Amino acid sequence: MVFQTRFVSDVAQDRLINRFGGVKIKDLDLIGAKAVYLPPKAEAALAHQFGVLRIDDDVVVEALIRGGIATKPTPTQPSEVLPWGVDRIDTDLVWGITTGDPIQVAIVDTGIDVKHPDLVGNLKGGVSTVAYTRKYNDDNGHGTHVAGIAAAIDNTIGVGPKIDLYAVKVLDRRGSGYLSDVIEGLDWAVANGMQVVNMSLGTASDVQSFHDAVARVYAAGITQVAAAGNTGGAVIYPATYPEVIAVSATDNTDTIASWSSRGLEIDLAVPGVSIYSTYKGSTYKTLSGTSMAAPHVAGVAALVLTVPEKCEFLLDSVSGCSPAEVQQRLEATAENLGVVGKDNLYGSGLVDAEKAVLQ
């Protein structure tokens, strides 16, 4: 459970939790809450106590890879490759001006392979919020794949090959975790001055604590990008929240993937089918999913942040440009793919890195 009270004192909060047989798992300072274990019959009783604002379920959050569409990892990549997704959004056309340095991008995921030759030069640090390890090394592979799309250095090149990467490990070796771990990871991102947060993860559950956390990150001036989901149905959370840029996935014909979630919440579309990128164990892999689409946008957002003069108003944010300004620029310069204007499949269209940075 994620437990919020009106009590300022930790002692008072802990006393109330203990009174009902609960056990505190961790503090969630970002939203003034605690993750706790409560006996089955205690929740209803505790919810009616004076001072208790809300008790939310600590729901499971999962990586958004499209199951069944993957190649076996290859141990080496013999020559430099410009992945088709990076090429399609014209990222290479701005590298003469910016490659993302020194923007800090947090990959909130399963961690990042700390020894991968195409990532180690950009990997500047990180944190693990999962219970079984304090190390942020990737024991799943998903986070490493996502990180490579955003910022691989060589061989398979990322959107911003000089972006500063930070691994925020909130998902376990199976690619799943708890909402409380994600919230703690977002707290770390705020405390450590991240400028872009990528969340290639989600849940079908709309939990107020999750929205509160996302809103706090947004208020801190951090641009957030999230995968829309792979069900072919409604957009999931956190992509649904208005503070987050929701990303759908397209194939190499600029057609929405059949499994890509859709709805009014979709902001942008980018490649997410058969994306080649880095993988755990210093290998490479082809994967599909809105998980693969989102880091393309996160990478371009980082490129935009290197040219703050392109923003209409320099607001008081970590990055110079506010999250709203970054999103507005990405949408205003996107290539329309669906009906004229914003639609439920492609949002404002396909991200165009060249126009977003230069126009």
Q: Which helix (H) or strand (E) holds 219?
A: helix 208-219
Q: Where are the domains of the chain?
A: 2-56, 61-358
pLDDT score recorded for residue 8: 60
Q: What are phi and psi of 164, to 5 degrees?
A: -85, 115
Q: What is the pLDDT of residue 152?
A: 97
User: CB atoms < 10 A from the CB of 162, how many?
Assistant: 18
User: Which segments in the chain show pLDDT lower than 70?
Assistant: 1, 3-8, 67-73, 76-79, 312-319
Q: What is the pTM of this model?
A: 0.94
What pLDDT score was predicted for residue 11? 82
In what side-by-side order are the strands of the sheet with 268-271?
A: 123-128, 164-169, 104-109, 196-199, 223-227, 244-250, 268-271
CA atoms within a 13 Å half-sphere pointing along the CA-CB vector of 109: 35
90 is catalytic: no
Residue 277, beta-bridge partner list: 285
Predicted local confidence at residue 171, as pLDDT: 99
Architecture (CATH level 2) of domain 61-358: 3-Layer(aba) Sandwich (3.40)
Q: Which of 56, 58, 90, 109 is catalytic?
A: 109
- Dist. CA 77–CA 29, nearest whole Å: 43
CA distances from 227 to 12, 14, 95 (A): 38, 36, 25
Q: Which of 56, 90, 116, 142 is catalytic?
A: 142
Q: Is 109 one of the catalytic residues?
A: yes
pLDDT of residue 338: 85
Distance (Å) of CA 15 to CA 11, 12, 41, 54, 243: 6, 5, 18, 17, 35
Name the active-site residue from 200, 248, 277, 291. 291
Question: What is the residue type of 18?
Answer: N
Q: From its phi and psi, is residue 311 left (phi > 0), alpha (psi between -120 and 50) or beta?
A: beta
Q: Is 142 a catalytic residue?
A: yes
Neighbours of 73 (CB within 10 A): 16
